[in-house]
């Protein structure tokens, strides 16, 4: 690449929860500090057909679920997979790929690996080996990102020195490092609002408040819907585990309010949690903000790197500042990113605080920052209270405070069996940090705190969407594997099929459930057992079966995969003769891969084929829509 132009470096990213966007912005920032102009764009805002016009492209992509591409990447990826693209289509294009993933998942960084291979197959040239960020690393994905970027800058400089006029290792003086915030806050006088707009009264609608706050958020993803599909009212909050057993799993039932909504079994419900109002007030006070102010948030300039809808931002209606913080900024549970500490260091007026913040964002302090921040799950409010001399402008806070994210849950009900209701099975998250501080999950603990008799006025914003478990037709025999709260979608499957089971015509279900102790956390025990005899869908007489593994009720641990091996002949018959489909749901750690290994062994043993052939058969099941996994960390 002998061209000495100053064409900007293109950084394309695909982010599901915002981590890949954070990493891509870091790559862009570090390149610009070295004198290289950058264009930053989400893949769903970039025309894949114009990739051939680029000389150098950096890709930053995350892997979601069980090896899935982020929503923002799906159209772009489909374009790259076209069979009519020649092998020389990207000849002359240089690229680098950085992936974000979690090695606790079986398909670790699967999307980055697939993208790397496909770009190579289309004739593009990799300039550095792909980087694979790992959430399990002591420093998170940055443990891989930092050395990968160092290699990237040096190779880019070798390819074209004009990328970095002062060399790849040049960093300007500290005083020149702070960027300008990308967003501006416009404050509106209440009197003028009341005189000129009905916005104050209009904005009292919960749906409008949520839509307004979240559509103005810098973290607004183009495919993410701001307005809730429905509001829910809790009508049941029932513990499913024995009190004092060390685990708290709840069964929640909600009614739609004010209207009904349609969904399928296997769908996912997203809930926007409510933050502790005292902590929101403490944040507003700590930052010297006026909770009564009305504001609009808008980008300073339109560009490909802005995720805000430009058409909306030009006419954005004002929102109360406190409401914006409550609905769009996670100040009470999420840990801030590294760049938050970097910007804090510029606003620290106490020398010892400035030194500590500068150390945290240095390469030497990276691991200590991870221990202080992510490992302890320090919240934005806690971090700001630890550095009292820092007064960050609200523009920076809006840009850098983690967004308040919706929490996703597998739906545990059936629209046929539970009309106008949706049910969830939720483990109330709690843990102790390395410094022995008790932490609670924001959404699960909030839901658990609601009393249906007392919370009649509490409406819960909710969104419905398809998950990884498509609703099966009643004629399809099922093999379900769902330990712990993984049983949630299968409660819906069973209820739906029972409603469809006119004159015992529906296909049978084999269900493998697992928990720690029979007396502590045998979730929905009576429901499963009632369907496992008298000709029920889980009864062996119908060709089904209910098999439960109590992992800690005996000296030797017993898990769902052990119970599956005990029923290997029956599973093989259901697959080979009955055409059954396998559905797996639960924790992402080892369970999905252990289950797949057990299925592979069963096919090999009962089918009399080599393990390699059994693995091919599983891939065929996946291709044919007969093997589905929904896993979460």
Q: Is 72 annotated as a binding residue?
A: no
DSSP, res 367: H
Q: Is 375 annotated as a binding residue?
A: no
Instruction: Indicate the helix (H) or strand (E) that contains 215.
Output: helix 206-216
Beta bridge partners of 256: 232
Q: Is 551 annotated as a binding residue?
A: yes
Q: Cβ(76)–Cβ(45) under 8 Å?
A: no
Q: Looking up tokens 């585990």, which residue turns up?
A: 241
Whole-number Å distance between alpha carbons of 383 and 390 = 10
Q: Is 377 annotated as a binding residue?
A: yes
Q: Is 443 annotated as a binding residue?
A: yes
Q: Is 89 annotated as a binding residue?
A: no
Whole-number Å distance between alpha carbons of 468 and 186 = 41
Q: Is 442 annotated as a binding residue?
A: yes
Q: Is 267 annotated as a binding residue?
A: no
Whole-number Å distance between alpha carbons of 257 and 376 = 38
Q: Is 560 annotated as a binding residue?
A: yes
Q: Is 232 annotated as a binding residue?
A: no
574 three-state secondary structure: helix
Q: Is 633 annotated as a binding residue?
A: no
- Residues 6 or more apart whose Cβ sits within 8 Å of residue 188: 293, 294, 295, 296, 318
Q: Is 558 annotated as a binding residue?
A: yes
Q: Is 497 annotated as a binding residue?
A: no
Whole-number Å distance between alpha carbons of 170 and 34 = 6
Whole-number Å distance between alpha carbons of 545 and 567 = 10
Q: Is 19 annotated as a binding residue?
A: yes
Nearest alpha carbon to residue 470 among 368, 622, 614: 622
Q: Is 569 annotated as a binding residue?
A: no
Whole-number Å distance between alpha carbons of 509 and 581 = 10
Cis peptide bond N-terminal to 258, omega within 30: yes
Strands 478-481 and 581-587: parallel
Strands 627-632 and 581-587: parallel
Q: Is 135 annotated as a binding residue?
A: yes
Q: Is 594 annotated as a binding residue?
A: yes
Q: Is 65 annotated as a binding residue?
A: yes
Q: What b/e string do you get for 571-593 counting C-beta neighbours within 10 Å, with b at 16 or more?
A: bbebbeebebbbbbbbbbeebbb
Q: Is 20 annotated as a binding residue?
A: yes
Task: Classify 231 in phi/psi space as left (phi over 0), alpha (psi -120 to 50) or beta.
Answer: beta
Q: What is the DSSP string of 528-566?
A: HHHHSSTT-TT-GGGT-EEEEEETTSSSS---HHHHHHH
Q: Is 254 annotated as a binding residue?
A: no
Q: Cβ(57)–Cβ(127) under 8 Å?
A: no
Whole-number Å distance between alpha carbons of 387 and 352 = 10
Distance between first and last Cα of the chain: 43
Rg of the chain in Å (alpha carbons): 26
Whole-number Å distance between alpha carbons of 158 and 153 = 9
HSE on the CB side for 603, CA within 13 Å?
21
Q: Is 256 annotated as a binding residue?
A: no
Whole-number Å distance between alpha carbons of 82 and 588 = 31
Q: Is 441 annotated as a binding residue?
A: yes
Whole-number Å distance between alpha carbons of 165 and 173 = 16
Q: Is 559 annotated as a binding residue?
A: yes
Q: Cβ(568)–Cβ(534) under 8 Å?
A: no
Q: Is 616 annotated as a binding residue?
A: no
Binding residues: 15-20, 62-65, 135, 377, 407-410, 441-444, 485, 551-552, 557-561, 594, 632
Binding residues for NADP(+): 485, 551-552, 557-561, 594
Binding residues for FAD: 377, 407-410, 441-444, 632
Binding residues for FMN: 15-20, 62-65, 135
């Amino acid at each position: 690449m002998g061209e000495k132009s100053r064409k900007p470096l293109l950084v394309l990213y695909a982010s599901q929860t915002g981590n890949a966007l954070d990493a891509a912005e870091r790559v862009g920032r570090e390149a610009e500090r070295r004198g290289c102009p950058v264009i930053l764009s989400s893949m769903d805002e970039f025309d894949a057909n114009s990739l051939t016009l680029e000389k150098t492209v950096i890709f930053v992509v995350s892997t979601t679920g069980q090896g899935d591409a982020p929503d923002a990447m799906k159209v772009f990826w489909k374009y790259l997979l076209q069979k009519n693209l020649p092998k020389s289509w990207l000849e002359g294009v240089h690229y680098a790929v950085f992936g974000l993933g979690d090695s606790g998942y079986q398909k670790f960084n699967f999307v980055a690996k697939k993208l790397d291979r496909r770009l190579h197959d289309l004739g593009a040239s990799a300039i550095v080996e792909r980087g694979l960020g790992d959430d399990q690393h002591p420093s998170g994905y940055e443990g891989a990102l930092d050395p990968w970027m160092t290699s990237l800058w040096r190779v880019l400089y070798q390819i074209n020195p004009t990328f970095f006029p002062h060399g790849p290792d040049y960093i300007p003086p500290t005083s020149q490092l702070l960027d300008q915030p990308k967003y501006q806050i416009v404050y509106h006088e209440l009197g003028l609002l009341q005189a000129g707009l009905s916005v104050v009264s209009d904005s009292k609608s919960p749906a409008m408040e949520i839509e307004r706050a979240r559509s103005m958020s810098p973290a607004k993803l183009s495919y993410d819907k701001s307005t809730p599909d429905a509001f829910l009212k809790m009508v049941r909050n029932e513990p499913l585990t024995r009190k004092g057993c060390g685990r708290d799993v709840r069964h929640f039932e909600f009614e739609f309010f004010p209207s009904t909504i349609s969904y399928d079994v296997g769908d996912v419900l997203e809930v926007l949690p409510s933050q502790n109002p005292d902590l929101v007030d403490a944040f507003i006070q700590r930052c010297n903000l006026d909770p009564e102010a009305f504001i609009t948030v808008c980008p300073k300039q339109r560009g490909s790197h802005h995720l805000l809808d430009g058409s909306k931002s030009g006419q954005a209606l004002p929102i109360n500042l406190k409401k914006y913080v409550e609905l769009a900024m996670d100040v009470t549970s999420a840990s801030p990113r590294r760049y938050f500490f970097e910007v804090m260091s510029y606003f620290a007026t106490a020398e010892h605080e400035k030194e500590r913040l500068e150390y945290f964002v240095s390469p030497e302090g990276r691991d200590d920052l991870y221990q202080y921040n992510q490992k302890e799950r320090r919240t934005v409010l806690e971090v700001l209270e630890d550095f009292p001399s820092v007064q960050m402008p609200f523009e920076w806070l809006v840009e850098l405070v983690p967004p308040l994210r919706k929490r996703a849950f597998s739906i545990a009900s059936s629209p046929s069996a539970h009309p106008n209701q949706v049910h969830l099975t939720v483990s109330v998250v709690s843990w102790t940090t390395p410094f022995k501080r008790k932490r609670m999950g924001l959404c699960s603990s909030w839901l658990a705190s609601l009393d249906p008799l007392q919370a009649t006025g509490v409406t819960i914003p909710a969104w419905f969407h398809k998950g990884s478990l498509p609703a099966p037709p009643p004629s399809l025999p099922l093999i379900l594997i769902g330990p712990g709260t993984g049983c949630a979608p299968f409660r819906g499957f069973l209820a739906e099929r029972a409603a469809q089971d006119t004159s015992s015509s529906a296909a049978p279900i084999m269900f493998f459930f697992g928990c720690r102790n029979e007396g502590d956390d045998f979730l929905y025990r009576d429901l499963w057992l009632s369907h496992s005899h008298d000709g029920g869908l889980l009864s062996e007489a119908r060709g089904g079966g209910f098999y439960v593994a109590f992992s800690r009720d005996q000296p030797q641990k017993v898990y769902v995969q052990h119970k599956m091996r005990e029923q290997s002949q029956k599973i093989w018959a259901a697959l080979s003769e009955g055409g059954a489909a396998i559905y797996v749901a639960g924790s992402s750690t080892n369970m999905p891969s252990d289950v797949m290994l057990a299925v592979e062994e069963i096919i090999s043993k009962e089918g009399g084929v080599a393990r390699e052939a059994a693995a091919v058969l599983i891939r065929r099941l996946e291709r044919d829509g007969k093997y589905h996994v929904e896993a979460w960390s």
